[in-house]
């Protein structure tokens, strides 16, 4: 490329841009994925609204504070307390983080700083495959 040549986005010369027909699949994929992402956000909002709508009788009967901080769960008396569920979720999440973060950081440090070059590529692929399975 000449020293004074003007380039379009991506470092290609402006004269040698791809024709519209060859860029069409990229544009279709871009708009398709954007549509799917918007549909997912709408679906999440719908589920959240539906959850609030279905929980409204209990929340209006007991209140949010009573639901979150009470320990009782008795369906026959319409008493619902989610404290054991919330605490169990927090303990499980904290345990997973305590066990997982040091292993992940240690693996990343080993692969980037200590691993021999000939093992780096296969181990990186293995770690990425393991990460995609979880």
Question: In whole angstroms, what is the distance from residue 134 CA to residue 125 CA?
Answer: 15
- Alpha carbon of 29 to those of 19, 24, 44: distances in Å? 17, 9, 22
> Per residue of the chain (134 residues), what is the pLDDT tens digit?
555 555 555 555 556 666 666 788 889 999 999 999 999 999 999 999 999 999 898 888 888 888 889 888 888 888 888 899 999 999 999 999 999 999 999 999 999 999 999 999 999 999 999 988 76
Question: In whole angstroms, what is the distance from residue 133 CA to residue 122 CA?
Answer: 17
- Residue 115 tokens read as 């691993």
Q: Give pLDDT, residue 42.
A: 98
Q: Give pLDDT, residue 12.
A: 57
């Amino acid at each position: 490329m000449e020293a004074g040549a003007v380039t379009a986005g991506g470092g290609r010369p402006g004269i040698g841009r791809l024709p519209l027909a060859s860029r069409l699949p990229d544009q279709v994929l871009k708009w398709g994925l954007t549509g799917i992402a918007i549909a997912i956000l709408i679906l999440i909002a719908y589920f959240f609204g539906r959850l609030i709508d279905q929980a409204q009788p209990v929340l209006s009967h007991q209140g949010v504070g009573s639901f979150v901080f009470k320990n009782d769960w008795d369906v026959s008396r319409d008493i619902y307390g989610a404290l054991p569920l919330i605490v169990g979720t927090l303990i499980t999440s904290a345990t997973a983080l305590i066990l997982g973060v040091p292993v992940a950081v240690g693996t990343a440090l080993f692969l980037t700083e200590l691993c021999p070059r000939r093992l780096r590529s296969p181990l990186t692929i293995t770690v990425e495959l393991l990460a995609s399975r979880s």
